[in-house]
Structure 1
Amino acid sequence: MADLTALTSSAYNQALEVIASVEPRIAEATRQELADQRASLKLIASENYASPAVLLTMGSWFSDKYAEGTVGHRFYAGCQNVDTVEALAAEHARELFGAEYAYVQPHSGIDANLTAYWAILAHRVEGPWLQNAGVKNMNELSEADWEKLRGELGNQRLLGMSLDAGGHLTHGFRPNISGKMFHQQQYGTDPETGLLDYDALAAKAREFKPLIIVAGYSAYPRRVNFAKMREIADEVGATLMVDMAHFAGLVAGKVFTGDEDPIPHAHVVTSTSHKSLRGPRGGFILATEEYAPSVDRGCPMVLGGPLSHVMAAKAVAFAEARRPDFQTYAQNIADNAQALAEGFLKRGIKLVTGGTDNHLVLLDVSPLGITGRQAESALLDSGVVTNRNSVPSDPNGAWYTSGVRLGTPALTTRGLGGDEFDQVAELIVNVLRKTSPGTTAAGAPSKASYAIEDGVAERTKAAAAELMDRFPLYPGLDLS
């Protein structure tokens, strides 16, 4: 292992020397980014630390290759090695999640969701429509029939979780393309508990009769019963699509099993390969065999050329996640989230839903008299990296917000445990209680500017750096 660490240091130092020979400021920014990440408490729920093997895999000549199409069916010559990479990434994904089919080309989670939406539309609307018209593809349609098909494709219904309840922009939020391409409605959570109300969701589905029901979340701190979601979808004839981008690592690590594992219950599952899965920035799709041919049309339907170097890194990350120690890591993510939540609760901080049973904690900072944006900024000044987030029925909207979202995957990767996450809660609470709103130029209360009591940010930043020194990031990697 010591030899491997030395090789890693040598590889990165030599790479930075090559970069510096062309643009030294990029090399310096890269060094500084590692230094900043080493010193700060990274609590953004959608971020993590990929292994050196994953990171090094992305820096290869696979980046130079165009490979539109699928394995064995490319629109460019010379793709035999890309075929190997993509096939291995898909194989590892299928085995890791127990899925019938995997598609690893999407560049991001948003790309994965758009590909999935259009694949479902192709399977549920376009395919039957062409069959009834007696043609094999759209090119054979008359202009009049094509206009009718376009109308049907553009007038389907989607039911997704609302943004303030914890859903994602791509789940039908109207300013997002998903909210423009579908006739959409959204489901929320119980106003008293903040929890999903499956009976209310079922009633809305019966009334709305969507083609697609989207489950999954980006800021809902509880687990979802996907068996119930499938029952609701089946009752109204909808396709169940699950966006597991945030909790894919907990599925891969067998923390979520049975009814809480989306793979046996959903028709289509989308995800990112980073976040709790600890891979490269990218997306992928899992599906039943029924939907596989439509998903396989992601390029050219939605996507451009796949990023072969990132698909290679996905294969490495999926292979890492198939190791037994990843299950221990995934369980630690959930245990640490519990410890973090308990640390806030015992210090009197309000949490959305009153706690967590996944990887994230959502603070409601409105009782402290500040906005989520003010809290986020004050914490960043103090060496704690978070992101502001809406809470249900948020009076401050999606920009200023009333909440702060925290996640445990990244610091769990560094080795922090329950005691350390309790210390993290204490540091955060101290900053938030010493932060107050600023005023605008006209003297009115501000939702953005803020003030922190003297010395608090400096002391917290020092304490955070001291804590991080005990859990080094990429130990043994020396870029001096």
Structure 2
Amino acid sequence: MAECYVNGHYNEDFAGFAGNRAVSEVDPELHNLVVREKERQYEGIELIASENFTSRAVMEVLGSSLTNKYSEGLPGARYYGGNEVIDEIESLVQRRALECFGLDASQWGVNVQPYSGSTANFALYTAVLNPHDRIMGLDLPSGGHLTHGFYTAKRKISATSVYFESLPYKVDMNTGYIDYDKLEETALVFRPKLLICGASAYPRDWDFKRLRAIADKCGALLMCDMAHISGLVATGFASSPFELCDFVTSTTHKSLRGPRQGLIFYRRGPILDKDGNPTGKEYAWETKVNMAVFPGCQGGPHNNTIGALAVALKEAMTPEFKEYSKQVCTNARTLAEQLVAMGYSLVTGGTENHLVLWDLRPHGVGGSKVEKVCDVAHITLNKNAVPGDTSALNPGGIRIGTPAMTSRGLVEKDFEKVAKFLDRAVQLAQAIQKEVGGKMKDFGPAAEKDAGVIALREEVVAFSKAFPMPGGLL
């Protein structure tokens, strides 16, 4: 029997083989849904801060033969045979991850197997904490992430808060900035074993020097979850956590523009004192972190995603990607300035990174209603809590990010137009609410058939289709 591939070329003799049929032939229903989703992305303005558009090269590896291979374990120490190539790929990704963030392999290690940022975080907690150890992370209504220990008065929401004792810190309710003085005061009383920094909705940079000092004062390890800003960190447009943190976790699909996956960076090698001199001791995190990922928290790694990450990391180390990151920040500032000029209120008054947190409470309409109007109008963003909110399900604000549309080529003048679209969406939401009342069960159907919203959608679609869509055919 002839091989399907000869010298890297497909053998047409096997074109009729069942395993080589296209998805359009095998499953027309699913193919149609995928095409519809691609069209939805192409015809809309994507403003969710945690989303981006991967390149065609990344997508090709995601859909490659790498998905076929089981490879529990680590390079050179697998539980299955046939992993010679997979070992090379994972080792390549490890080297590129360190290089991308300017890290010395003698001082830092990285596990590239976590399926997501959430699993990366929980694997790290598993590695460095015992059940019921104390942690402190930014509160969810202040812009933190669920996995940093969020809970409510009635129940524990995140598994982090189930297995560990969590006491979140908050932003200043008046300024929207992290209150480092209050953080330090609380930490010295609570004495967490792990202090967590990083956020999913915080538009400002982090004071890692102050956080390190607080962690040292209360005897805590310091971890940064840089999921949202990893691409900006890699290109120097956000402060790097690596100089002062003990651990750094991240996703890879947000501002880094890669596949959906997680990373765990950990210190390794000799422990140095505050003057940079060897203490005679070495960090012992590597084995603990690796064992926590597998077999502690997950099974075999997704090799197609790891391979795709290799491509994304290579792209992230190019001059073009640095220009992209710069434009992401410029576009966010432009959007913020336009909204402020229109009379709207932003948490902290502006932004220093890729996102804007918009407080709609002064305008009498909630984030859920503006999100609904925008969704009908093909503008995708998300409702979000703002300082002082008590409900994440019915918050007073929305979160807006610029990475995805910057990937499609939008620059400042384009985001000025986006700001005008958003202003119209708020005005439409106010008008619909005035007509049908405040209940979402009435508001949603009214928004879907409102003439003004439909007219806005037509303009948004025409605007969006003027920009190219990355990622290939599907």
TM-score when normalising by structure 1: 0.86
CA distance in 1, matches of 2:125, 2:298: 13
> Contact (CA 8 Å) 1:156, 1:183: kept in 2 or not?
yes
Shift of 1:226: 1.2
Tell me which residue corresponds to 2:312.
Answer: 317
CA distance in 2, matches of 1:272, 1:415: 23
Tell me which residue corresponds to 1:114.
Answer: 122
CA distance in 1, matches of 2:438, 2:66: 53
CA distance in 1, matches of 2:378, 2:21: 29
Q: How does 1:192-271 map to 2 (within 5 A)?
A: 192-256=174-238, 260-271=239-250
Matching of residue 69 in structure 1 with residue 73 in structure 2 = yes
Tell me which residue corresponds to 2:159.
Answer: 177
CA distance in 2, matches of 1:373, 1:253: 34
CA distance in 1, matches of 2:369, 2:96: 42
Tell me which residue corresponds to 1:275.
Answer: 254
> Structure 1 residues 343 and 181 mapped into 2: Cα distance closer, same or farther (>3 Å)?
same
Shift of 1:454: 4.1
User: What is the one-letter code of the residue matched to 2:392?
Assistant: A
Q: Deviation per CA, 1:386-440, whole angstroms, max 9, x where unpaired? A: 0111111214x0112111110000011111111111110111111111213878x
Q: Which has the larger displacement, 16-25 or 305-314?
A: 16-25
Tell me which residue corresponds to 1:401.
Answer: 395
What secondary structure does 1:36 align onto?
helix
Tell me which residue corresponds to 2:350.
Answer: 355
Q: Deviation per CA, 1:433-468, whole angstroms, max 9, x where unpaired? A: 1213878xxx97415642459422122212222222
> Contact (CA 8 Å) 1:438, 1:448: kept in 2 or not?
no
Matching of residue 296 in structure 1 with residue 290 in structure 2 = yes
RMSD: 2.0
CA distance in 2, matches of 1:401, 1:472: 33
User: What is the one-letter code of the residue matched to 2:402?
Assistant: T
Structure 2 counterpart of 1:345, from 321, 325, 340: 340
What secondary structure does 2:236 align onto?
coil
CA distance in 2, matches of 1:263, 1:16: 46
Q: Deviation per CA, 1:54-95, whole angstroms, max 9, x where unpaired? A: 011011222121111111111112111111111111110000
Tell me which residue corresponds to 2:141.
Answer: 164
CA distance in 2, matches of 1:332, 1:292: 36
User: What is the one-letter code of the residue matched to 1:233?
Assistant: A
The number of aligned residues is: 427
Matching of residue 27 in structure 1 with residue 27 in structure 2 = no
Q: Deviation per CA, 1:220-271, whole angstroms, max 9, x where unpaired? A: 1111111211111111111111000011010011112xxx211111111110
CA distance in 2, matches of 1:463, 1:438: 19
> Contact (CA 8 Å) 1:438, 1:446: kept in 2 or not?
no
> Structure 1 residues 63 and 164 mapped into 2: Cα distance closer, same or farther (>3 Å)?
same
CA distance in 2, matches of 1:16, 1:261: 46
CA distance in 2, matches of 1:154, 1:320: 40
Q: Deviation per CA, 1:304-331, whole angstroms, max 9, x where unpaired? A: 1110111001111111101121111111
CA distance in 1, matches of 2:369, 2:441: 6
> Structure 1 residues 49 and 206 mapped into 2: Cα distance closer, same or farther (>3 Å)?
same
User: What is the one-letter code of the residue matched to 1:56?
Assistant: E
CA distance in 2, matches of 1:112, 1:418: 35
Tell me which residue corresponds to 1:133.
Answer: none
> Structure 1 residues 221 and 86 mapped into 2: Cα distance closer, same or farther (>3 Å)?
same
Matching of residue 426 in structure 1 with residue 420 in structure 2 = yes
Matching of residue 378 in structure 1 with residue 379 in structure 2 = no
Shift of 1:23: 0.6
CA distance in 2, matches of 1:340, 1:324: 24
> Contact (CA 8 Å) 2:54, 2:470: kept in 1 or not?
no
> Contact (CA 8 Å) 1:370, 1:447: kept in 2 or not?
no
Structure 1 counterpart of 2:454, from 451, 455, 458: 458
Structure 1 counterpart of 2:323, from 321, 328, 344: 328
> Structure 1 residues 279 and 478 mapped into 2: Cα distance closer, same or farther (>3 Å)?
closer
> Structure 1 residues 30 and 444 mapped into 2: Cα distance closer, same or farther (>3 Å)?
closer
Q: Which has the larger displacement, 15-24 or 219-228?
A: 15-24
Tell me which residue corresponds to 1:416.
Answer: 410
Tell me which residue corresponds to 2:96.
Answer: 92
CA distance in 1, matches of 2:335, 2:201: 16
Shift of 1:385: 0.5
CA distance in 1, matches of 2:250, 2:115: 11
> Contact (CA 8 Å) 1:374, 1:448: kept in 2 or not?
no
CA distance in 1, matches of 2:51, 2:150: 23
Shift of 1:276: 0.6
CA distance in 1, matches of 2:53, 2:110: 24
> Contact (CA 8 Å) 1:41, 1:411: kept in 2 or not?
yes
Tell me which residue corresponds to 1:18.
Answer: 22
> Contact (CA 8 Å) 2:47, 2:381: kept in 1 or not?
yes
CA distance in 2, matches of 1:251, 1:315: 18
User: What is the one-letter code of the residue matched to 1:269?
Assistant: V
CA distance in 1, matches of 2:20, 2:334: 39
| Structure with the higher fraction of residues in helix conformation | 1
